[in-house]
Structure 1
Amino acid sequence: MGTVADEGTYWLPYFLFERKYGFAYNHTISAEDPQNKARIDRVQYKNSIDAFLPYFGNSALVQHSLMHAYNDVSQSDNEMERLRDGVARFLGDYFFTCGVVEFADVLADHIYGPVYMYYFTMRSSANPWPRWMGVMHGYEIEYVFGQPLRKPILYAHDRLQIEQKFSETVMQMWIDFSNTGMPAYYWPKYNRVEKRSLVLSEEIVHGVHRIREDLHGSHCRLLAEARAIVGQVPLNGVECRSRRTGPQAVTASSITSKTSFLLLFISLLLALLK
């Protein structure tokens, strides 16, 4: 099980598209056009964090803590980009990464078989979204199912060979895990104490195997403390809403429910593989 580097970016154009947030995306122009850079100011940064404060009982203390904690998670030299990346990281941590880590802790404590955690950092050259959005939610799936091999035309010509080798490596890991219970000899078992995850990046094709410890740990602990202080308040009346309609509509609550279902499915799958 695992998470990608930029879980939160995909959702920004759907939840925070209004001018007061600054994450509108124009599909009619180049993805790399300055208009699609989502460089936000401090007012928009505050508005974006505030949009999710109902989850935390609209606590001013939590608001201050979140704004400070996510203010400088980016490596960009541009302040507006750092603020943008902070909002993205907050959404990714709260709705995905921290929950996955917490679930990995529970699994490692309670199931008989080993647990393996990955941190996916390979950006697909078939990704049509702006580069600042990074390694987005769900983009590991195409490598698990061999899309670079099945549909090579989707990928940049100068990246195709590495994309295919990476996909082959990932598929072999999944095959080995299903057959033997161990995806790779260099992939450490996950446990609550060490919290070690294998970084699935282009480097693995070249025999470099990096391990991350305590993935987003300080921010996840902050979010856990915030929940403990104010309780987990349902999201009611939050202004940020998806522009999608009909059966494909996306809401903040649907993300949470879908994540819970996915985690339940994974636990059942692991039980069957024991």
Structure 2
Amino acid sequence: MGLEDASIVERNFLRLVKELNCTNRDHDKEVRCMQTKNASEIINTTETISNPLQSVLRYPFMAVDYDGYFFERPVEKILGTEKFKKDVDVLLEKTTNESTIYMNHYLQNTTYGCPFYPNKPVEDPDNQCNMTKKQYLKSIEFLVKILNLNVTATKKIRKIYSNLTLISYRDRAVRIFVDFFFDCDFLEFGKKIDTYINKTKDKYFFVLGKRISINPWQLFFGVTHDCQSHYMFGHPFLNATAYGYNATMEQEFSSQYMKILSKFTHNAKLYKGYPDKIWNYWPNFNAGETFGVFVNSTLRGWDQYDIINISTHTCERVKNIKLCYRLPRFSIPDICLI
């Protein structure tokens, strides 16, 4: 989802200050007023703030591209000019279903068929986003609109995913939103930084495919980043009672997950499984060979992580659609004429 322009976030913050009745010409007084508000009041108020300059899929208070303090220059410009530290090892990670956490929020009305009724059980049939074909097609139109693409893109997207006939319209929509907003961008980012990082350094990519047992969302959501961060910080150990009879299983996976991170930070050497030998290293990810590891269970004995290709033929087509059909288009890249 990227970073946000600092001026946009500043406007949103001024709106928040106003909504909480803290506007004052004296900035110190504004700060003191905001400090008197409790967290719930602030969070609830942020939910009411929107900005026409932002996509509906972007939060009003995202991290900014340049705050003038933490980074010396805007992050996008730093990446574009290669003026950053390159003598480093890299570990990239994504989940399998990142887009689903947005579906209940942005596709909730009858036009798209993804409402969520909090007064009903999570797995109630009415909470399963069971799209009709018409609602599925409308969700594609929604995606095209927020990406600022022209109408031709709608037809192209429908064609790309027309072969997914064995899965529901809901799951087709999930796949489309995952590809266009997350997975393909993650892939492109990995390929881009590979060209910058020193070739003597290790670059890894893994996909987290295990759903945590205390995930409060519907099963069809799959694995998203929100609750999965619990594994990273050892939550199953810190609050074992929350996991009930799954506590031991979740502690084992959490321990394994944290070991991946600790081994990487120690010497950047990761192993597909037992034994920890040089011939059993994770594959290195690079722009030419986009291999990664699928982490979806606790390894036992001689178990090994599955090696997967992060790249897909679909992502190349997604990239071309974003390039060729964005509005306004004053010139057509050569690749779009093929």
TM-score scaled by length of structure 1: 0.76
Aligned residue in 2 for 1:201: 296
2:325 to 230, 234, 243: 230
Matched, 1:125 2:213: yes
Contact 1:186 1:209 (8 Å CA) reproduced: no
Task: Using CA pairs under 8 Å that are at least 6 residues apart, name the structure with larger relative contact order, 1 or 2.
Answer: 1
Matched, 1:105 2:200: no
Matched, 1:44 2:130: no
2:125 to 16, 34, 38: 34
Question: By how many angstroms is 1:90 displaced?
Answer: 1.4
Question: In 2, Cα distance between the equivalents of 1:188 and 1:31?
Answer: 39
Question: By how many angstroms is 1:75 displaced?
Answer: 5.8
Q: Give the number of aligned pairs.
A: 226
Contact 2:150 2:327 (8 Å CA) reproduced: no
Aligned residue in 2 for 1:190: 285
Contact 1:108 1:191 (8 Å CA) reproduced: yes
The 10-residue stretch of structure 1 (88-97 or 13-22) with the greater mean CA deviation from structure 2? 88-97
Aligned residue in 2 for 1:137: 225
TM-superposition CA deviations, 1:188-226 (whole Å, max 9, x none): 1111122111101115356231011144x1221111110
Matched, 1:59 2:139: no
Contact 2:209 2:295 (8 Å CA) reproduced: yes
Question: By how many angstroms is 1:107 displaced?
Answer: 1.6
The 10-residue stretch of structure 1 (36-45 or 184-193) with the greater mean CA deviation from structure 2? 184-193
Question: By how many angstroms is 1:110 displaced?
Answer: 1.0
Read off the aligned partner of 1:111 and give its amino acid letter: I
Read off the aligned partner of 1:41 and give its amino acid letter: T
Contact 1:162 1:205 (8 Å CA) reproduced: no
Q: What are the equivalent positions in structure 2 for 1:71-82 lying under 5 Å apart?
A: 71=162, 73=164, 76=167, 82=168
Aligned residue in 1 for 2:333: none
Read off the aligned partner of 1:101 and give its amino acid letter: L
Unpaired segments ≥5 residues, structure 2: 1-91, 272-279, 329-338
Question: In 2, Cα distance between the equivalents of 1:65 and 1:199?
Answer: 30
Aligned residue in 2 for 1:249: none
Structure 1 residues 45, 116: CA separation in 2 closer, same or farther (over 3 Å shift)? same
Contact 1:199 1:210 (8 Å CA) reproduced: yes
Q: Sequence identity of aligned pairs in percent?
A: 23
Question: In 2, Cα distance between the equivalents of 1:210 and 1:223?
Answer: 26
Contact 1:126 1:156 (8 Å CA) reproduced: no
Question: In 2, Cα distance between the equivalents of 1:176 and 1:75?
Answer: 40
Q: What are the equivalent positions in structure 2 for 1:175-186 lying under 5 Å apart?
A: 175-184=262-271, 185-186=280-281
1:90 to 145, 169, 176: 176
1:149 to 237, 260, 263: 237
Structure 1 residues 13, 69: CA separation in 2 closer, same or farther (over 3 Å shift)? same
Structure 1 residues 28, 186: CA separation in 2 closer, same or farther (over 3 Å shift)? farther
SS in 2 for 1:116: strand
Question: In 2, Cα distance between the equivalents of 1:97 and 1:152?
Answer: 32
Matched, 1:211 2:307: yes
Read off the aligned partner of 2:216 and give its amino acid letter: P
Contact 1:199 1:211 (8 Å CA) reproduced: yes
Question: In 1, Cα distance between the equivalents of 2:255 and 2:298?
Answer: 14
TM-superposition CA deviations, 1:4-28 (whole Å, max 9, x none): 1111110001111111101111111
The 10-residue stretch of structure 1 (2-11 or 109-118) with the greater mean CA deviation from structure 2? 109-118
Question: In 2, Cα distance between the equivalents of 1:115 and 1:138?
Answer: 24
Contact 1:70 1:87 (8 Å CA) reproduced: no
Instruction: List structure 1 runs of 4+ shifted beyond 6 angstroms.
Output: none
Read off the aligned partner of 2:266 and give its amino acid letter: N
Question: By how many angstroms is 1:137 displaced?
Answer: 3.1
TM-superposition CA deviations, 1:219-253 (whole Å, max 9, x none): 211111102212376xxxxxxxxxxxxxxxxxxxx
TM-superposition CA deviations, 1:87-108 (whole Å, max 9, x none): 1121122111111111111122
Question: By how many angstroms is 1:73 displaced?
Answer: 4.4
